[in-house]
């Protein structure tokens, strides 16, 4: 029997309600419903993890989602992809007893953080993002063949701050880093900060130079973020490598800062030594002291090379 999209979502919600989430089964059913042959099940399992004072994080497919669930207010930070976002929203509704989401924040424009926004249509009262991130999400939404998208309807340049539920929520742009429009979303009372893709924990980062990334400035942004928070702030990371955790302390932020500094130094060394970009980008280096990050692909090396040789 073919499943409608509504049935598919209902099945997902039931699975969540039962506490056992049969994602691979559901995905297979969905593929069959679309007339496609069943494929290998997706390698992801949705998990909600509470941190403190109603703030927690959700792992599915894509960038880590953050949330605040309070009797008087609900916030989501990022939306992953169109297939995982409805799973998050269904799980969130159970936790909030169908209370609307007061705010959806997008930490930046990338599709693994904002691609699922449309699942918040009729659910989130407002969608907030840095002005550059909002512009890029809107740009992607009007491309030919773009899927239906819910775009930010509120933007900020430097900082957005408001009281929601039992907490003060702050979205702050510390400067160009992973993109030109990154924001850190801080739950002040819970003392938890969502870093978006300003944090890749022990994983080679994506550097979106075309859309405003600057690695040298990323180093400063991490330092400003640590200075702006306290020693016991818990940070949520957009991504982590291997089995490394997606939450941590300022130690991880400063370790990542040191890694970025080492990557810049390594590249500057190659430029100084007279290597060409073509010679450098095929070297697949592993940086001493940062072995967890693994080898570097040509694309990453080329971007850092361009920043050093051509400027930001």
Q: At its nearest, how many Å lie between Zn ion and the CB of residue 26?
A: 27
Q: At its nearest, how many Å lie between Zn ion and the CB of residue 210?
A: 12
Nearest to 30 by CA among 15, 16, 41: 41
Among 70, 102, 167, 197, binds Zn ion (CB under 5 A): 197
Q: Which is nearer to Zn ion, 103 or 109 (CB)?
A: 109
Q: At its nearest, how many Å lie between Zn ion and the CB of residue 24?
A: 26
Q: Which is nearer to Zn ion, 110 or 203 (CB)?
A: 110
SS3 content of the chain, % helix, strand, coil (to 5): 40, 20, 40
Q: Which is nearer to Zn ion, 21 or 193 (CB)?
A: 193
What is the C-alpha separation between 178 and 45, in angstroms, rounded? Answer: 27
Q: Which is nearer to Zn ion, 203 or 229 (CB)?
A: 203
Positions 27 through 46 that interact with Zn ion (CB under 5 A): none
Instruction: Spell out the residues 6+ positions from residue 154 whose beta carbon is closer than 8 angstroms to its own.
Output: 126, 127, 128, 129, 160
Q: Write phi, then psi, for 192 (nearest 5 degrees).
A: -130, 135
Stretch that binds Zn ion, among 13-21, 72-80, 191-199, 290-298 (CB under 5 A): 191-199
String marking each residue 237-276 x if it binds Zn ion according to CB under 5 A:
----------------------------------------
Q: Is position 78 an interface residue for Zn ion (rule: CB under 5 A)? A: no
Q: Is 261 exposed, middle or buried (0-12, 13-18, 19+ CB in 10 A)?
A: middle
Strand 239-240 and strand 200-201: the pairing is parallel
Q: Which is nearer to Zn ion, 12 or 300 (CB)?
A: 300
Q: At its nearest, how many Å lie between Zn ion and the CB of residue 130?
A: 13
Stretch that binds Zn ion, among 13-21, 22-30, 90-98, 193-201 (CB under 5 A): 193-201
What is the C-alpha separation between 238 and 225, in angstroms, rounded? Answer: 15
Positions 100 through 119 that interact with Zn ion (CB under 5 A): 110
Q: For binding to Zn ion (CB under 5 A), which residues are involved? A: 110, 197
């Amino acid at each position: 029997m073919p499943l409608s999209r509504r049935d598919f979502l209902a099945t997902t919600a039931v699975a969540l309600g039962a506490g056992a989430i049969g994602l691979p089964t559901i995905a297979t059913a969905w593929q069959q419903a679309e007339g496609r042959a069943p494929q290998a099940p997706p390698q992801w399992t949705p998990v909600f993890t509470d941190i403190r004072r109603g703030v927690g994080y959700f792992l599915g497919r894509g960038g880590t989602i953050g949330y605040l669930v309070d009797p008087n207010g609900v916030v989501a930070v990022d939306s992953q992809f169109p297939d995982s976002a409805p799973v998050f929203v269904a799980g969130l509704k159970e936790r909030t007893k169908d209370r609307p989401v007061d705010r959806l924040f997008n930490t930046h424009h990338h599709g693994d953080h904002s691609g699922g926004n449309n699942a918040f249509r009729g659910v989130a009262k407002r969608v907030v993002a840095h002005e550059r991130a909002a512009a890029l999400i809107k740009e992607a939404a009007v491309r030919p063949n773009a899927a239906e998208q819910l775009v930010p309807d509120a933007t900020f340049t430097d900082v957005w701050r408001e009281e929601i539920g039992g907490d003060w929520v702050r979205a702050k742009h510390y400067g160009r880093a992973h993109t030109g429009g990154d924001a850190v979303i801080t739950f002040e009372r819970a003392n938890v900060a969502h870093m978006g893709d300003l944090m890749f924990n022990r994983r080679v980062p994506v550097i979106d130079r075309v859309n405003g990334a600057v690695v040298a400035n990323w180093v400063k942004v991490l330092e400003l973020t640590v200075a702006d928070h306290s020693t016991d702030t818990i940070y949520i990371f957009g991504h982590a490598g291997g089995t490394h955790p997606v939450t941590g302390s300022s130690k991880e932020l400063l370790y990542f800062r040191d890694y970025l500094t080492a990557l810049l130094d390594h590249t500057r060394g190659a430029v100084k030594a007279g290597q060409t970009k073509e010679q450098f980008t095929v070297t697949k280096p592993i940086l001493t002291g940062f072995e967890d990050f693994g080898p570097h692909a040509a694309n990453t090396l080329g971007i850092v090379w361009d920043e050093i040789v051509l400027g930001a």
